[in-house]
């Protein structure tokens, strides 16, 4: 995953990473919200869900202490970070601010 992850976040496209876990209630609430964000923004953002239990080294590298934690990248640079569930409109606004 690590090599793929670097290739993913190095892209010119905005990439929203959703660090989550199977056992996490708020993560389950965030999933349909992120789907709505994707539906609204289309190809201008790529949304990737990463299970912290299966990718502990990545979670550790980005100091993900709680889930869900969202990170927004473009060209390998972290532009934004937020822990917890946000509303669709808030996430859309953040992503659009970096377009």
Q: Is the pLDDT of residue 5 over 90?
A: yes
Among residues 24, 48, 85, 92, the one annotated as catalytic is: 24
Hey, what CATH topology would domain 2-97 get? Glutaredoxin (3.40.30)
pLDDT at residue 84, as a whole number: 97
Secondary structure of residue 1 in the 3-state scheme: coil
Among residues 15, 16, 17, 27, the one annotated as catalytic is: 27
The ranges assigned to domains in the chain are 2-97
pLDDT at residue 65, as a whole number: 95
Q: What is the pLDDT of residues 28-82, one digit of tens each?
A: 999 999 999 999 999 999 999 999 999 999 999 999 999 999 999 999 999 999 9
Is residue 27 flagged as an active site residue? yes
Is residue 24 flagged as an active site residue? yes
Q: What are phi and psi of 18, to 5 degrees?
A: -110, 100
The two counts, helices (H) then strands (E), for the chain are 4, 4
């Amino acid at each position: 995953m690590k090599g793929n992850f670097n290739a993913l976040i190095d892209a010119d496209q905005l990439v929203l990473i959703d660090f989550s876990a199977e056992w996490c209630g708020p993560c389950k609430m965030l999933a349909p919200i992120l789907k709505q964000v994707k539906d609204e923004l289309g190809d201008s953002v790529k949304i990737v869900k990463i299970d912290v239990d299966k990718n502990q080294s990545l979670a550790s590298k980005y100091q993900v202490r709680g889930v869900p934690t969202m990170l927004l990248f473009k060209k390998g640079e972290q532009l934004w970070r937020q822990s917890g569930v946000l509303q669709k409109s808030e996430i859309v606004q953040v992503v659009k601010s970096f377009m």
